[in-house]
Amino acid sequence: MPERQKGELSLFTREGFDMESFRYSGSRPGDDPGETYDIREYRSGDSIRQIHWKLSGKLDDIMIREKSFPVDDTVLILAEAFQAERDPQRAETVAEVFSAVLQSFMEKKISCQAGVYDHSTGKFRLEKIRTEEDRENILYRFLRYGSDAKTPVTVREYLKDPGIQNFANYVYITGDPQDKEAELLAAKGEVTIVGCGTGGRDSGGEQVLWKYGSQNPKDSQKQHMENNCPVSCWKLH
């Protein structure tokens, strides 16, 4: 299993996320009276119970308050093992960052699930991350069965099933500079991309140097420097 390591990315902090938005879907209305999804003008067929009377009086028009759709696990964490040009450093960093994100979400009690494509069964698997055992199970599947593809498969296999659960927020971890798979998730919810060694993108996000692999104190300073991999994090707009 990848060794635990904490980066300085805000992704790994509770403050890095709008926790209330994680509890409610930003892409669909629902029936939770405690949260507002949208305010709009009245349309034929709207229930009188949805009228926002105070605002309607101010605007002299009938305004409707749409309620939010509550969700239990609003974050899906995905990691893609495929690289067009295989780089062991980036591959190792992807696995370690995946592990660290899961660990951080679990410790901060941010409700989430993780997904991997299992090449041994040909199925996409979702796992609720509640315990250390959950984290280790999904990491094992990623490390054991996730790197056999000749093309990126994680996002496409997730989207292939029309009945699969939707999420309001996605975290996508990749080590391939040419990876555009996260764009397929944009219609589903808010997407945060974590690029391991990808660099060179005008993402407007943040970047840290990730110390991957063995960090034995007996190693030389030169080896420590060689074990640094840039990790970038940005929102997909």
Task: Judge if pTM exceeds 0.85.
Answer: no
SS3 string, the chain, reads CCCCCCCCCHHHCHHHCCHHHHHEEEEEEEEEEEEEEEEEECCCCCCHHHECHHHHHHHCCCEEEEEEEECCCCEEEEEECCCCCCCHHHHHHHHHHHHHHHHHHHHCCCCEEEEEEECCCCEEEEEECCCHHHHHHHHHHHHHHCCCCCCCCHHHHHHHCCCCCCCCEEEEEECCCCCCHHHHHCCCCEEEEEEECCCCCCCCCEEEEEECCCCCCCCCHHHHHHCEEEEEEEEEC
pLDDT confidence of 4, banded at 50, 70, 90? Answer: very low
57 phi/psi in degrees, rounded to 5: -65, -40
Q: Give the model's pLDDT for residue 94.
A: 94
| 72 vs 198, higher pLDDT | 198
Average pLDDT of span 156-174? 87
Q: Are 189 and 167 in contact (CB under 8 A)?
A: yes
Question: Is residue 185's pLDDT more than 90?
Answer: yes
Show Cβ contacts of residue 7 under 8 Å, excluding neighbours closer than 6 positions.
Answer: 97, 100, 208, 210, 231
The one-letter amino acid at 157: E
More confident residue, 36 or 149: 149
Residue 153: predicted pLDDT: 92
pLDDT tens digits for 12-43? 554 555 444 444 445 445 444 445 556 888 88
Residue pair 167/188 in contact by the 8 Å Cβ criterion = yes
Report which of residues 184 and 67 the model is more confident about: 184
pLDDT on residue 1: 52
Average pLDDT, the chain: 78
Cα–Cα distances (Å) from 89 to 58, 133, 198, in that order, read 60, 26, 11
Q: Is the pLDDT of residue 95 over 60?
A: yes
Whether 159 has a pLDDT exceeding 50, the answer reads: yes
Q: What is the pLDDT of residues 40-60, one digit of tens each?
A: 888 888 878 778 888 888 888
